[in-house]
Structure 1
Amino acid sequence: MIKNRFRIALLCSTVSVYGLGDHAEARKSSPAASHTAPASSPGNGHKAPVHQRQRDLEAHSDESVRVTASNFGGGVSNTTPGGGLMPVQTAPRSQSGITRDFIAKMSPTSNVQALISNLPGVVTASQDPIGVTGDQLTIRGMNQMQIGYVFEGVPIADPIRYAPYTSTVVDTENLGSVTVSQGSPDITAPLYNAVGGQITMSEVNPSHKMGGYLSLTGGTHSTNKEFLRFETGDIGNTGIRGFLSYSHSSWNNWRGMGGGVRHHTDEKFIKEWGEGNSVSALFSYNWMESNSYRRPSLAAWSQYGRSYNYPGTYTVGTAGYYDLNKGRNNAMTIAAPAHFTLRHDLHLNVTPYYMHMFGPSVWGQNVSSANSYFGTGPAGNLNLSNLTASGDATTQAVDPWNQKTSGINAALEWTKGSNTLTFGYWYSYTQHEELATFSPVDTSGNPVAAYGHDPIRVADGSILTPYDLNFKQQSNTLYLVDTLKLLHDRLSLTAGFKTTMLSRQGTNLVPGADPYKNAKNYFAPMPQFYASYKLSDHDQVYINGTTAFRAPGSVQVYSQIFDPSSPVAVQQPGNLKPEYSIGEEIGYRHHGFYNFAVSAFNYNLTNHQVTSYGYVAGTNNLIAQPMNVGGQTIRGVQAELGLGNWHHFSPYFSGQYLHATTDNNFNAGSDYLPTKGKKAVQTPKFSGSIGLRYDDGHIFGNFSMVYVDSQYTTFMNDEAMHSYITSNMTLGYRMEKIGALKHPTLQLNLINLADNNYLSSPSSATGNAKATKGIYGNTVAGSSPIYIVGGGFAAMVSVSTGF
């Protein structure tokens, strides 16, 4: 603790001293801006807009060099090294990315987590081969709840649980680039959870020419996707252009019964004028319903393998019946990023946004007709029918969670000589409501009423519910960034300071809830310092010292969770403290025909929060279970190598060595488990990938292979999941113009080529799997984690064309 305080004080002192530096010559970048140079619009076969602002790539900017020419279909230009996996980076921190050169050749059903699985430090946990239900990931051993997700300047993850819903925000066909900042977030980004880094997604920009793009996909597991985008082109002399797109997808679960349907629409319009002035209007809406996958323990996996699924037929009492366990994810995102040149040396960047996400989540659960509880008291006779021998009735539990978030991130940038000063303010407000209900099902397993209608009530007419939550949150963030360039811009020094003030309060109206109301306030100072030096036009070295903070995740941290089977809460609110990270990096990169980057890193986390997902005992209700495991130390080295085009070939390699340990003993309730010095959970020692791309303009193909080492899943290191290897392949042919069709393309994607049978990630983490004696002599009972089953083989065929 003393060492960490000293490191924070040292960083703050560095920032303070740095702020006294002299101002010198002008710099043209805009560090607070969240957008990058406009990407080309896939499928139109013409060059991108000439009007693009040239922007520097600084430590406080998540920007990377992006391809702006579209010489082939789907936005492919074949100019990004490593087959689209290694765009040139100049930020003085570890940063990797992908462009349309790679994205366009992946399955159109892929999600963002799957697309970045080849990048160093990124470990993606697939749960279905086609990517429609979303995946989980870790970066340098920190899970997706500790990663910040930003789309066109908007924080898209759930602001309370931090779960990313990347597939609800943008269609893959409209995704221009993804940048991964391993370990440290952009100081100007609207985030308060990114202790593990940041993932920044950019949408393609509308074309200046009227046209469109059509893609049709079909494959295994009865998968299909239809996508259509219409480009308005420049609308008269208004300076406005835009696109509208719609897609429909449907599929069957790759294991077990069930499937899903998805409808999605994206819209983007841009107005540009003068020198560097622009306003964009973005809109997306997503509706998806799908059946859930059952997650096994290690013992269940060993016994049943992939056949461990929800039952496909219903009999009275079968709460696990597949059609009772599903979810519906609705999401709407509206944003208007704006950039104004107030004077030649003064720029204003403003991004207002609004997001609305709602369910319901649905699961099957048996409820006793005569012996249930409503909060802490008896529920009385519920007068249910279709009872089992034990007096239970099968019900469908419905949780129609409803969350609305609005916010604005604004930054003013002033340039004086070589010095650029940026001052910003971010405000956001979130309201979250959750009232779970139970509805009886008939003898065929069908709910007797639609979602949430005619729920089971107790004698006084109140709705029987395990939780009735109302949660509100306000965040206020201020940041100040100063960048100084010296030695003819070869030396760049950036210092910044960010402070977040977060206010949360939640109520639970279930009778007997204690506390009925819970409120927390958090304050976190976050200094950062970056330095980089250009050894040549192609070589760069950098160092940095960063801090980040993460407020406790999940509404379960603030409210009790009840269940009709128990008169006491089945989950108590945690007294979690904010997680705080202090990190240092040193790195080198070279770009040219061959591109190479390597970095070494060290992080110390206090109040490290591990958010796992587990089932409420005796139910199919999968909820977040946050735990404070104390301190954690993370050290390692990552590297990547990519070549430019060589006889139409472009290879790519990446790898990471990771050493992460737990710094404290784990509080198991009845005792402390001796976990100090143990390997941290979900931290594979080695991970890496190889890739090879071929594209001669007509025939193209990709091959990639990913290796992930074994991972511990308990803090005592008494249970682990095996290492695994997966590989994917793409084969395709791209034609020239045929009439009005531009670059018609036929593409085959093969996913998990060898159909490897594996567990891709722990879904939950526990203190110990086997009974263990604590440090005070008490025996702590073991509890096995549950796991995500890795997706099997899938084949997708796509036909696409611009017009």
Structure 2
Amino acid sequence: MILCVLMIRCSTLALSAAFLTLPVAASAQQATEDRTDIRVIGRRDPEGLLPDQTEPKAVSAISADFIVKQAPTLNAFQLVNLLPGANVASSDPYGLSTSSSLTLRGLGQDEIGVLLEGAPQNDIGYYYAYPSQFADPGNIRQIALAQGSVDIDSPTVGGAGGLLSLTLDDPKATRQALVDLSLGSYSLRRVFARVDTGTIGTTGLKAFVSYSNTRADNWRGAGYDTRQHVDAKLLREWGNGDRASLALSYNDANSASYPSPTLADWQAQGRGFNHDARYSPGNTNYWRLYRAPFRNLYASAPVHVALNDRLTLDSTTYLQFGYGNSPYGTQLATTGNFLGNEELTQPIALPGTVDGVATVLGNYTGDQMRTGNVSKLTLRAGVHRITAGLWFDYGTDRVAQSYTAVDADGNPADRWGYRSKAIRTADGRLLAYENQRTVTVTKAFFLADSITLGPRLTVDAGFKGVGLLRNGRNYLPGPQTRVRRDSFTALPRAAVHYAIDDRQQLFANITTNFRTPNEFTLYDSYDGGVVSTRGTNALKNEYSVSQELGYRYIGPNLSASVTGFHYKFRNRQLATVIDVGGAQVNSTLNAGGQTSYGVDAEIDYRPARGVSVYVSGEYLRARIDDDLPVGGDYLPTRGKRAVSSPTVQIAGGGTYDDGRLFGSIAGKYVGRQYATFINDESIKGYATLDVAVGVHMADWFGGKRTDFRVNAINVTDPHVLGGVQAVSTNAGDVIGPRGTVISGYAPAYYIGSGAAVAATVSRGF
């Protein structure tokens, strides 16, 4: 309790000092005689691939020098596609659609923590992160990918897959502006403008704000995407490394939802598996019924303050708001309806009814708010660097699956799915298939010690305790009204880092991670007035133990790393998508135990100034440890390959920049991926290739930055399935060892995106 009060007071004082009473006195420089630092002989990676790392774990990263050469619309998942273990499935070449996924070492994006300026970006209910909502690439200084674990102070739940951290560019010290204009395939139009204030008077404050507006037609099928985005950052630095900032990121998008085929659909229709371009009465597959509008605001206020020469405070306060709809087309009858387990005896009024049936927009809306703070104190005492901290997170998620009227031309009366405009029962209640509100409260504490044992050896040990409470209310009539789930998980860890010399490092670590079942599993689902799926709070948390052993070399012209890893899971939870009343709803399957091991490697060779050649790869062996219980029988899954876990991935690329001409190339091969626990369905391996060329023209236009570049995305245009969108236990019927016929159901897949070309002109002022 004392620690909590101290951190809250210190955090408040630091923010006040940074923004209200500037300037402040410089803090004393942190003492260095308490610890011998290792000096790494290398140089800044000028091409933006494989920046220097000294962490005792696997970490890969790309920086702005690489990002600026890529297509300006690409999202964070697409940008890290070259890094070891990153398996990216993207439904559109520009990264605008919400239909995309990222797996790391075979672990899905609901197992990957995502931070922007230290603030969590994952959905609080389902743990997904949506990269099309993240900051614009032009404002990102670095994207770091820790493939094996999250940091002990990371405010994330469920990080067995690793941590994706986005760091925004700091505001410039001088006043300046930048404008990007892009045109491309599928009628792409994009404008991006950023203004930096420079240092504002004598306050020491500096800031930037940017705005982007993007529109592109769907690359397959009817429809188009729109995205408006604002990023801003306010920064104050003082003393020796003290700093406080406020970062904002706002996104307003209306995105296409590309349909995901089964294997049979793909074989029959290929890329022709799309929503319909024209509406006819009774058509529930019309493209306007599948456009997903979302608005999100993320705010983060990280602070770093040296309280004295041995004690520092780091605190990040964050706030998020988000509302969106993932709609679909469906039909309703005026009679024979149920609300939960209650039969509606009075007909409901449905515009456009024909023979008692009307085509409507099925809404799946989510209204989220999330706020929290993570703070830590770091004390240097002799050979020890002791860290103690707290994390508190409060989030609400209001989910409703309602219905909205559609006019004679197929246009929804309200594409946002607002409850106030949705169809009502005869007595005025909201007609909903699902209607609930969940409050999630996360409390965590952590304690760690980094011990310097000589000039080259460091040993880390830490412990994190996380308590997660869900309280919810089911607003549908029925036996369930309130839900509650409370759990606590202990997460010990340890790591060793040894500097062989000034260029070579060895590291090893052991970490633990957990993931609670998502909120959907708590609630009853109804079909025809009967509970079809009973909610439960008895599902066990996933728990994993992972180890890494790695070698890292950092030289003036060559950098490389190789990491062996091993995972052991209990109650492995796999995210999938299920059909609930026509809506595609995120759900969880318990796959029992799982064992994974493999090797990640990457190398960056810089033979000359401005030239970088990069190669990465992964070998992964992931196997299910248990037979899966189904009813009174078992599905024989022991020893089967884990889903979405390609055995081999290989990536290669490079960049070139001689001050006049520049460009990049990036190729990726992803091996076969299984989509069912029983391994009776899979997709073949495939390869992609992106190319960029450009020219710097500043000396032709007054010395101000003026660049022109052309990005060719997925230039080989392979007609492939790019990833697994919804896994299943078995695609075909299977006879269990006790003689039960276990019925199968087909998995669904992402169709790999087509080729696209975008041209961009950038001009600085």
Q: TM-score normalised to the size of structure 1?
A: 0.88
Q: 1:54 to 1:151 in 2, by over 3 A?
A: farther
Q: TM-score normalised to the size of structure 2?
A: 0.92
1:739 and 1:633 mapped to 2: Cα distance? 58
**Counterpart in the other structure of 1:668:** 630
Letter in 1 for 2:562: V
**Counterpart in the other structure of 1:506:** 472
**By how many angstroms is 1:647 displaced?**
5.8
1:305 and 1:379 mapped to 2: Cα distance? 42
Aligned pairs for 1:173-252 (under 5 A) are 173-252=138-217
2:96 and 2:396 mapped to 1: Cα distance? 27
Which of 649, 672, 677 aligns to 2:639? It is 677
2:199 and 2:621 mapped to 1: Cα distance? 53
**Counterpart in the other structure of 1:557:** 521
Is contact 1:316–1:387 with CA below 8 Å preserved after alignment? no
**Counterpart in the other structure of 1:93:** 57
Is contact 1:219–1:797 with CA below 8 Å preserved after alignment? yes
CA deviations on 1:592-625 (whole Å, 9 max, x unpaired) are 11111111111001110000123336x2x21112
CA deviations on 1:730-764 (whole Å, 9 max, x unpaired) are 01111234555622000100011111111111111
Is contact 1:92–1:531 with CA below 8 Å preserved after alignment? yes
**By how many angstroms is 1:515 displaced?**
2.6
Letter in 2 for 1:495: A
Is contact 1:741–1:801 with CA below 8 Å preserved after alignment? no
Q: 1:449 to 1:80 in 2, by over 3 A?
A: closer
Matched, 1:112 2:76: yes
Is contact 1:648–1:696 with CA below 8 Å preserved after alignment? yes
The secondary structure found in structure 2 opposite 1:768 is: coil
Is contact 1:576–1:627 with CA below 8 Å preserved after alignment? no
**Counterpart in the other structure of 2:577:** 613
1:118 and 1:667 mapped to 2: Cα distance? 38
The secondary structure found in structure 1 opposite 2:530 is: coil
Which of 255, 260, 273 aligns to 1:308? It is 273
Instruction: Report the RMSD for the aligned CA atoms in angstroms.
Output: 2.2
**By how many angstroms is 1:275 displaced?**
2.3
Is contact 2:185–2:758 with CA below 8 Å preserved after alignment? yes
Is contact 1:634–1:661 with CA below 8 Å preserved after alignment? yes
Letter in 2 for 1:363: Y
CA deviations on 1:472-502 (whole Å, 9 max, x unpaired) are 01111100110111222x1111111101011
1:492 and 1:213 mapped to 2: Cα distance? 44
CA deviations on 1:137-160 (whole Å, 9 max, x unpaired) are 110000000001011110111122
**By how many angstroms is 1:670 displaced?**
5.1
**Counterpart in the other structure of 2:612:** 650
Letter in 2 for 1:633: T
Aligned pairs for 1:35-50 (under 5 A) are none
Matched, 1:422 2:384: no
Matched, 1:460 2:422: no
**Counterpart in the other structure of 1:478:** 445
Aligned pairs for 1:373-384 (under 5 A) are 373-380=338-345, 381-384=347-350
Letter in 2 for 1:214: V
CA deviations on 1:184-211 (whole Å, 9 max, x unpaired) are 1101111121011111110000111110
Q: 1:174 to 1:648 in 2, by over 3 A?
A: closer
1:569 and 1:464 mapped to 2: Cα distance? 17
**Counterpart in the other structure of 2:97:** 133
**Counterpart in the other structure of 1:567:** 529
The secondary structure found in structure 2 opposite 1:91 is: coil
**Counterpart in the other structure of 1:28:** none
The secondary structure found in structure 1 opposite 2:698 is: coil
**By how many angstroms is 1:454 displaced?**
3.8
Is contact 1:479–1:496 with CA below 8 Å preserved after alignment? yes
Aligned pairs for 1:580-619 (under 5 A) are 580-592=543-555, 593-616=557-580, 619=582
The secondary structure found in structure 2 opposite 1:763 is: strand
Matched, 1:123 2:87: yes
**Counterpart in the other structure of 2:503:** 538
**Counterpart in the other structure of 1:15:** none
**By how many angstroms is 1:251 displaced?**
1.1
**Counterpart in the other structure of 2:657:** 695
Is contact 1:570–1:616 with CA below 8 Å preserved after alignment? no
CA deviations on 1:478-535 (whole Å, 9 max, x unpaired) are 00110111222x11111111010111111111111x4321100110111110001111
1:666 and 1:294 mapped to 2: Cα distance? 29
The secondary structure found in structure 2 opposite 1:102 is: helix
Matched, 1:714 2:673: no
**By how many angstroms is 1:645 displaced?**
4.3
Is contact 2:606–2:612 with CA below 8 Å preserved after alignment? yes
Letter in 1 for 2:140: L
Identity of aligned residues (%): 34
Is contact 1:614–1:763 with CA below 8 Å preserved after alignment? no
Higher strand residue share: 2
Q: 1:354 to 1:741 in 2, by over 3 A?
A: farther
Letter in 2 for 1:105: K
Matched, 1:259 2:232: no
Letter in 2 for 1:149: V
**Counterpart in the other structure of 2:3:** none
**By how many angstroms is 1:386 displaced?**
3.5
1:411 and 1:373 mapped to 2: Cα distance? 51
**By how many angstroms is 1:319 displaced?**
1.1
**Counterpart in the other structure of 1:43:** none
2:388 and 2:699 mapped to 1: Cα distance? 49
**By how many angstroms is 1:180 displaced?**
0.6
Residue range with higher mean Cα deviation, 688-697 or 656-665: 688-697
Is contact 1:317–1:387 with CA below 8 Å preserved after alignment? no
CA deviations on 1:75-101 (whole Å, 9 max, x unpaired) are xxx9527x4221111111111010111
Is contact 1:715–1:767 with CA below 8 Å preserved after alignment? yes
Letter in 2 for 1:500: V
The secondary structure found in structure 2 opposite 1:190 is: coil
Runs of 4+ that moved beyond 6 A? 53-56
The secondary structure found in structure 2 opposite 1:343 is: coil
Is contact 1:729–1:753 with CA below 8 Å preserved after alignment? yes
**Counterpart in the other structure of 1:395:** 360
Is contact 1:145–1:162 with CA below 8 Å preserved after alignment? yes
**By how many angstroms is 1:395 displaced?**
0.5
**Counterpart in the other structure of 1:166:** 131
**Counterpart in the other structure of 1:743:** 705
Q: 1:55 to 1:167 in 2, by over 3 A?
A: farther
The secondary structure found in structure 1 opposite 2:726 is: coil
**By how many angstroms is 1:458 displaced?**
2.0
Q: 1:303 to 1:741 in 2, by over 3 A?
A: farther
1:650 and 1:798 mapped to 2: Cα distance? 23
**By how many angstroms is 1:455 displaced?**
2.5
Which of 270, 273, 278 aligns to 2:235? It is 270
Is contact 2:58–2:550 with CA below 8 Å preserved after alignment? yes
Q: 1:510 to 1:694 in 2, by over 3 A?
A: same
1:755 and 1:345 mapped to 2: Cα distance? 57
Is contact 2:676–2:731 with CA below 8 Å preserved after alignment? yes
2:334 and 2:616 mapped to 1: Cα distance? 57
1:277 and 1:658 mapped to 2: Cα distance? 42
Is contact 1:372–1:379 with CA below 8 Å preserved after alignment? yes
Is contact 1:741–1:802 with CA below 8 Å preserved after alignment? no
1:579 and 1:526 mapped to 2: Cα distance? 12
**Counterpart in the other structure of 1:578:** 541
Letter in 2 for 1:102: F
**By how many angstroms is 1:576 displaced?**
2.5
**Counterpart in the other structure of 1:494:** 460
